[in-house]
Amino acid sequence: MAIDQVDRRVVIERPTVTSREAGQSAAAPAATSFTKTYRTTAKVVGAVYLGGFVVGLVGSGLFQSILGPTGASANLPAVAASSVLLAFGAILWLMAVAGDAAHGVLMFPILRRYDERIAFGYLASRIVDAVFIAVMVLFVLLQIPLASAFVKAAVTDASFLQAVSGLFAQGQVYAYDVGMIALGVSGLVLCYTLYRAKLLPRLVAGWGLIGYAILFVGMLSEVMGSGLGLASSIPGGLWEAFVGVWLIAKGFSASGLTLLGRDASPLGTPGR
């Protein structure tokens, strides 16, 4: 009996994957990793905001309790009597300085995803802010050895030391003012990016823009003797406390991170 044999060929069809689809599937894990990484960054930034707000507030209170309502005066007898407290207040302000610099470093990778020039501008303005606040703290600390010499000095030397103390107090004021002006610039840069990149709700980012604009203008006028420096710092200070809690609780907007992370890849992407 003849049996006809029929060749049976099994054709295995493999789906064709376009280069675009391949690129999207390869980028997906990177984008997910990007989002998770910067959610953690948001919590750290929020903690730094809150920590800086607290230590700055306590440090300012200690300065004012010793150096008067402005926190800067040539009051050597009071400094001599409370030098330890003054030094502790200075240490708290140095912690705030470290936080200012940390903000620039922590936010740099995120801001760079939006615009590299903005990222570098924010980092630079934060460094300027930190440097001038550190100089302010240095002027405060210099009051301590002056006060020690003042207690032991003769009457003629005491008047000279008091005059030097007054110069240091004025230098402290100017260094603080310039540092706050730089903070205003950095805050405007940050909040503009948060607003455009949708990393925070528009209302929250807009509050920050207005607060830092008031701070910038107020501190510029303070240099010219307006006396508005303290009042102008209130809106921005409250925003920092609020956004610190927000970032710890909610982080950056998921939609904003997704938009920034779409182009994430192992090699990174240039700023747009």
Looking at residue 215, what is its pLDDT? 96
Task: Please give the model's pTM, rounded to 2 decimal places.
Answer: 0.81
Looking at residue 32, what is its pLDDT? 57
Tens digit of pLDDT for each residue in 6-32?
444 444 444 444 444 444 444 444 455
Looking at residue 99, what is its pLDDT? 93
Exposed e or buried b for every residue in 153-189, given b needs 16+ CB within 10 A?
beeeebeebbebbeebbebbbbbbbbbbbbbbbbbbb
Looking at residue 90, what is its pLDDT? 94
Distance CA 262, CA 232 (A): 39
Looking at residue 269, what is its pLDDT? 39
Angle CA(51)–CA(91)–CA(78) in degrees, nearest 5?
125
Q: Could you tell me if residue 160 is inside a domain? A: yes
Q: Could you tell me if residue 186 is inside a domain? A: yes
Cα–Cα distances (Å) from 245 to 35, 77, 110, 215, in that order, read: 19, 40, 19, 21
Give the alpha-carbon dihedral of 172, 177, 179, 183, to 10 degrees: 150
Q: Find, among 182, 153, 180, the residue nearest to 165 by Cα.
A: 153
Q: Could you tell me if residue 265 is inside a domain? A: no
Cβ atoms of 228 and 222 within 8 Å: the answer is yes
Looking at residue 271, what is its pLDDT? 40
Residues of the chain with pLDDT under 70: 1-35, 71-72, 155, 261-272
Q: Could you tell me if residue 182 is inside a domain? A: yes
Cβ neighbours of residue 60 under 8 Å, at least 6 residues apart? 71, 89
End-to-end Cα distance, the chain: 77
Distance CA 84, CA 8 (A): 94
**Per residue, what are the HEC states of 74-125?**
CCHHHHHHCHHHHHHHHHHHHHHHHHHHHHHHHHHHHHHHHCHHHHHHHHHH
Q: Could you tell me if residue 228 is inside a domain? A: yes
Q: Find, among 72, 96, 100, 105, the residue nearest to 86 by Cα.
A: 72
Looking at residue 229, what is its pLDDT? 85
Tens digit of pLDDT for each residue in 146-171?
998 888 877 677 888 888 999 999 99
Residue 81 has a CB neighbour count (10 Å cut-off) of: 14
Cβ atoms of 97 and 130 within 8 Å: the answer is yes
Q: Could you tell me if residue 150 is inside a domain? A: yes
Q: Could you tell me if residue 167 is inside a domain? A: yes
Query: At residue 114, what is the residue type?
Result: Y
Q: Could you tell me if residue 109 is inside a domain? A: yes
Distance CA 55, CA 90 (A): 10
**Which residues form the domain of 254?**
37-258
Cβ neighbours of residue 176 under 8 Å, at least 6 residues apart? 72, 132, 133, 136
Sign for the CA dihedral angle at 114, 179, 94, 47 comes to: negative
Distance CA 148, CA 70 (A): 22
Task: Count the domains in the chain.
Answer: 1
